[in-house]
């Protein structure tokens, strides 16, 4: 039986303690999947989290940091996790990384990018057009099992002869921050000098700070200095977000969506038409691959004022590949994925539509299977029939973060009550959900979520969190307050 005994719950206005933060992160590691929780240690000092121990792949190392950043009260993360990957001979690993770059719809177009492997280190060289393209290359290489480090000093960004002025860079960053629903930039100042961006002010979470830095790089900064951008717990207050969710005209929303596409190399060359009516965005046109279609929808949902997205995009691949070839490429990609290599899958492909079969341990792995298949050239749609067995009775996984006094568990705790507690605990420690009005009802392992959240991203995360802590099914009846019909009610 795993128990986490934290005797008191801080009120919303209080600063959470380092001990509570460490315990919450360890609980998240235990339930979120994709990280080897038993091999990692967490220590927190003044809100700065240090992660030590081991993971068996680079994706898990990055995921561990992202999980920690998403915990309330965290001001920063020092990631000291060491990678211990299973041994893969250099010749095999060289073939895997080369094929991974060639199979990805985006990186397959980066003709000058080359990668060599020695002792598990992937050294990549060449030229890309932006920081975002550079990140796509690194993400592909990190997703190959056996790579324990990526050396990218020789992967350079070609910025061209035409540069935006410092004022233009500042203005573009500020505009993107204002329209990105994932960050609250009300207290953030941006200054640019010789293409070096300096960020200062206050944000509510370490996750927001990381996103703001990434946005600055995506917008064209040669370097970003965020030392003066502080994480302050009080900056999470909903009063600072009121202007963020104020009414936005449809024409302005459409312009913001198009601007977002300009900075995403996955959709940059797509021929899309954006139309907006009462906050509902409709995307029409063609894209060259399924990942671009998915990225376009997600980019759109991240824009302030978007109430819903109707994606009518058609996938039209530039090169037609036989279904049998696509099937083999998908199976090879699943085999080299560090999360999925040891799982047997069946893949059927008909006219570019891939249907996936198999069984995995959790919803994280199920989603990973779909993402891997969607990232293959020639795939126009994915039907994910991979099964996740019902979770075992996990009422022994207990937390008393929600109690203002020491907890005394019953001799035979009710499983539905225990699951309700786990879900509420997850929401309490989530930077995005802790202050939102979410009610949880669990019956026979099925969680029903009601109430309101600020964004579609919050709505999706609430359901995912419920699954991760043991819900057999989730009825998500949460309403989004950015729905124009609800804006008048305020936050």
Binned at pLDDT 50, 70 and 90, residue 233 comes out as: confident
Quick check: 276 pLDDT over 60? yes
- Name 463's Cβ contacts closer than 8 Å, sequence gap at least 6: 449, 474, 476
DSSP 393: -
Output 382 or 30, whichever has higher pLDDT.
382
Mean pLDDT of 261-266: 93
- Name 316's Cβ contacts closer than 8 Å, sequence gap at least 6: 286, 287, 288
Quick check: 92 pLDDT over 60? yes
Output 201 or 410, whichever has higher pLDDT.
201
Domains of the chain, CATH where assigned: 1-84 (3.30.1340.30), 90-157 (3.30.1340.30), 166-241 (3.30.1340.30), 250-315 (3.30.1340), 323-384 (3.30.1340), 391-491 (no CATH)
* Structure tokens that stand for 104 in this block: 């990805």
Distance in angstroms (rounded) separating the CA atoms of residues 97 and 86: 15
Given this model, what pLDDT does residue 260 score?
Answer: 94
Given this model, what pLDDT does residue 155 score?
Answer: 95
- Average pLDDT of the chain? 88
Averaging pLDDT over each range in 28-37, 324-333, 394-403, which range is the top one? 324-333
Out of 141-150, 237-246, 402-411, 465-474, which region has the weakest mean confidence (pLDDT)? 402-411
Given this model, what pLDDT does residue 223 score?
Answer: 95
Mean pLDDT of 126-138: 95
Output 233 or 109, whichever has higher pLDDT.
109
**pLDDT above 90 coverage of the chain, percent:** 70
Given this model, what pLDDT does residue 490 score?
Answer: 38
Given this model, what pLDDT does residue 234 score?
Answer: 78
Given this model, what pLDDT does residue 14 score?
Answer: 56
Given this model, what pLDDT does residue 2 score?
Answer: 37
Distance in angstroms (rounded) separating the CA atoms of residues 264 and 71: 27
Distance in angstroms (rounded) separating the CA atoms of residues 421 and 428: 10
Q: Outline where 84-130 has alpha helix (H).
A: 90-103
List, in sequence order, every beta strand (DSSP E) within 129-244.
149-157, 188-193, 196-203, 223-231
Binned at pLDDT 50, 70 and 90, residue 142 comes out as: very high
CA 352 to chain centre: 27
* Structure tokens that stand for 167 in this block: 């004022």
Distance in angstroms (rounded) separating the CA atoms of residues 457 and 360: 25
Q: Note if the pTM is more than 0.75.
A: yes
Given this model, what pLDDT does residue 405 score?
Answer: 34
**pLDDT above 70 coverage of the chain, percent:** 88
Out of 16-25, 216-225, 238-247, which region has the weakest mean confidence (pLDDT)? 238-247
């Amino acid at each position: 039986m795993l128990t986490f005994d934290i005797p008191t719950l801080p009120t919303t206005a209080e600063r959470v303690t380092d001990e509570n933060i460490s315990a919450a992160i360890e609980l998240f590691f235990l339930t979120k999947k994709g990280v080897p929780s038993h091999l990692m240690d967490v220590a927190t000092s003044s809100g700065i989290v240090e992660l030590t121990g081991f993971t068996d792949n680079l994706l898990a190392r990055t995921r561990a940091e992202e999980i920690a950043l998403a915990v309330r009260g965290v001001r920063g993360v020092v990631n000291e996790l060491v990678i211990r990957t299973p041994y893969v001979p250099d010749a095999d690993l060289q073939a895997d990384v080369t094929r991974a770059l060639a199979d990805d719809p985006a990186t397959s177009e980066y003709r000058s990018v080359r990668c060599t492997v020695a002792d598990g280190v992937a050294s990549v060289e060449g030229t890309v057009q932006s920081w975002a393209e550079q990140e796509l290359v690194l993400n592909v290489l990190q997703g190959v099992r056996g790579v324990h480090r990526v050396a990218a000093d020789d992967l350079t960004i070609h910025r061209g002869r035409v540069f935006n002025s410092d004022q233009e860079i500042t203005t573009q960053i500020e505009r993107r921050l204002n329209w990105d629903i994932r960050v609250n930039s009300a207290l953030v100042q941006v200054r640019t000098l010789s293409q070096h961006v300096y960020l200062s002010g206050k944000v509510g979470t370490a996750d927001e700070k990381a996103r703001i830095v990434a946005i600055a790089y995506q917008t064209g900064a040669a370097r970003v200095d965020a030392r003066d951008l502080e994480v302050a717990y009080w900056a999470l207050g909903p009063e600072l977000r009121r202007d963020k969710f104020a009414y936005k005209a449809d024409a302005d929303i459409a312009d913001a969506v198009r601007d977002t596409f300009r900075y995403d190399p996955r959709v940059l060359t797509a021929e899309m038409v954006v139309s907006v009516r009462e906050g509902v965005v409709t995307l029409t046109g063609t894209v060259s691959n399924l990942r671009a279609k998915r990225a376009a929808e997600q980019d759109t949902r991240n824009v302030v004022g978007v109430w819903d997205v109707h994606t009518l995009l058609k996938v039209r691949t530039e090169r037609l590949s036989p279904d049998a070839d696509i099937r083999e490429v998908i199976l090879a990609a699943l085999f080299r994925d560090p999360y999925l290599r040891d799982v047997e899958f069946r893949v059927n492909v008909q006219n570019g539509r891939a249907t996936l079969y198999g069984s995995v341990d959790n919803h994280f792995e199920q989603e990973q299977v779909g993402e891997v298949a969607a990232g293959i050239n020639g795939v126009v749609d994915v039907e994910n029939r991979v099964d996740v067995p019902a979770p075992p009775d996990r009422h022994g996984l207990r937390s008393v973060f929600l109690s203002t006094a020491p907890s005394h568990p019953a001799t035979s705790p009710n499983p539905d009550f225990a699951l309700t507690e786990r879900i509420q605990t997850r929401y309490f420690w989530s930077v995005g959900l802790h202050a939102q009005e979410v009610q949880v009802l669990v019956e026979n392992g099925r969680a029903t979520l009601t109430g309101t959240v600020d964004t579609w991203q919050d709505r999706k995360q609430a359901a995912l969190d419920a699954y991760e802590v043991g819900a057999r099914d989730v009825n998500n009846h949460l309403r989004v307050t950015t729905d124009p019909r609800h804006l008048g009610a305020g936050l």
